[in-house]
Chains A and B, each alone.
Chain A
């Protein structure tokens, strides 16, 4: 489990889990896209945890992972899920509830 601590602790730390399988180009892209958006909108108050299901397949069931890559916003609640390589920034922002949809 790789941990990317990008910022100091903050009152409202966003906990983001990125589920990938192996270091495929798709998961690399997703990670970079996610990081870019977080840097733009959540600078200093987010934490991305990359979980490789190839190494921890048992985690997939509990987290209800279906598609790869999947980002789960564990905090702040409610839990939000975005699937895909996150190339569609607009959708990502809607998914993370950083922008009102529409």
Chain B
């Protein structure tokens, strides 16, 4: 058994346990049945009492090296061997190797006549002989109630049973006693009165045409034990009990990221994809490409050399492979290499528990790094919402504990983006991708966005999700004032934008040309003005010169005239020029 090493140690060291090796049962009971004491397993017809007892014995002999005695009151040795052989237990071989002794106690009331007082010492002798012959540590008595049918003197029988259980305890064997379920008490004949250490109740009930087996530890003296009902299954490797509560929220988390196989999707998820061991919910209406995204993730895992397990509840493996081929995703080589495994089953094939247990078994056998459940909503039909939620919780916990990345696809009915079941399920999920159809302009287009992604920066953008024969791709959807545009509308918008851009470009060029022209004109004007100015400046300089000259002349003339006038007064000044008259103007 895979879980052999995972048996938790007894929570109560004062009460030693005897591990059953039955998957899950040891977890519930905190290590196993009370060692050296009898345990009562009761339940209705066909609930698996005999198989549980047989498994306890076989696993004891095979896994724990404890030989056992199977005392059967109902089935003959050959019947028993044949019955447990269907679970893969080689009872006949174990008997041959003297690991197990079978003793069929045949009681036929019509062949018996009781006369006077007796005891069941014969049974004790047989049992004792069987135990001693192989040094048995485990004993199964299945079912003692046959004695009540065979023997009339109930007073003797009850006294002897009491003695039997005392004797078993004194003998130090761990015993499993099976008993038929009673109407008002646990067992039909009140055997629980004698076996007071541990009582396990098995139940097989049918709800909505789906049968579920349940196990409950009614009593476990001196020890903590789970009191809930636990679903259990009888599969081809024996019984497996599925503990719900034993799994805590203490799984390790990984910082490793794994790609989705769609680069743009990775980019939306902070550039590196999902966290390893995270659970991803992918919801979408029919035909939005959930399976395709899931298959891409599986294929990406296989390309990394990891194993992927694909649970398909709607399509057969060959159908998925064929359909994925059409978008250029070749899954078959991975299947052949043993990296990809499909498990297809109709949801209505069996109950939720059976599905869950089958999944657990597949996961335990294949040890995948990526698990895809497509779609998880199909399973929802097999149980009530609370059961489904419990189931998904268990599946998520189980997979997280094993660091398995899980993709759940979820089908939503057209129109509603979210449904109640998803809203409740989503809180269990680390990431949530939403695939949606957008209708408009007479066409339907797929979009994808990341609704949530715990622990990573992620894009808030809606991306158009394109599926072609070359695979899938994500393109930016056009988001504008008129809303989100996809498909041909996006293409049209893009063309429109391109045209507008071109027009803008041309306009800009024209303007640039105009401006250049203007500049030219302006420059020409400037140069004209400058030449004007220069002309004027030259003129001005000339005027200035003239004025200067004239002023000089004037001054000179004035001086000369002054001198002349002074000469009038002083006459001693020499004569230089001809004397001028008037105001000195030329």
Contact = CB atoms under 8 A, between A and B. Distances in A.
Interface string A4-38: 00000000000000010100001001100100000
A84 B116 CA distance: 5
A100 B542 CA distance: 173
A66 interface: yes
* Interface-central residue, B111, B119, B125, B150, by most chain A CB under 10 Å: B125
Contacts of B151: 67
B77 to A, nearest CB: 10
Nearest to B121: A68
A61 B105 CA distance: 8
B515 interface: no
A40 B324 CA distance: 92
Contact of A61 (B112, B115, B129, B150): B129
A60 B126 contact: yes
* Interface-central residue, A67, A69, A80, A84, by most chain B CB under 10 Å: A67
Contacts of B123: 66-67
A65 B126 contact: yes
Contacts of A60: 122, 125-126, 129
Contacts of A33: 115-116
Contacts of B112: 81-83
B115 A92 contact: yes
B116 A85 contact: yes
Contacts of B115: 33, 82-89, 91-92, 95
Given A57-B126, A66-B107, A82 B121 contact: no
Given A85-B117, A91-B113, A67 B122 contact: yes
Contact of B113 (A21, A58, A61, A92): A92
A89 to B, nearest CB: 8
Interface residues of B, number: 25
Interface secondary structure of A, over-half rule:
mixed
B193 interface: no
B113 A82 contact: yes
Given A26-B119, A67-B118, A81 B126 contact: no
A53 interface: yes
B114 interface: yes
A81 B122 CA distance: 14
Contacts of A83: 112-115, 118
A44 B125 CA distance: 33
B530 interface: no
B125 A57 contact: yes
Contacts of B111: 79-81
B315 interface: no
Contact of B128 (A57, A67, A89): A57
Contacts of A64: 105-106
Contacts of A70: 118, 122
B66 interface: no
B122 A26 contact: no
Nearest to B122: A65
B116 A86 contact: yes
Interface of A: 19, 21, 26, 29-30, 33, 53-54, 57-58, 60-61, 64-70, 79-89, 91-92, 94-95
23 contacts: A26-B117, A26-B119, A30-B116, A33-B115, A53-B121, A53-B122, A53-B125, A57-B129, A60-B129, A61-B129, A66-B120, A66-B122, A66-B147, A67-B120, A67-B123, A70-B118, A81-B112, A82-B114, A82-B115, A83-B118, A85-B116, A85-B118, A91-B113
Given A66-B123, A82-B115, 11 more contacts: A26-B118, A33-B115, A60-B122, A67-B118, A81-B113, A83-B118, A84-B114, A84-B115, A86-B115, A91-B114, A91-B116
Give 9 closest A-B pairs by Cβ, nearest first: A95-B113, A87-B116, A57-B129, A65-B122, A84-B116, A91-B115, A68-B121, A85-B116, A88-B115
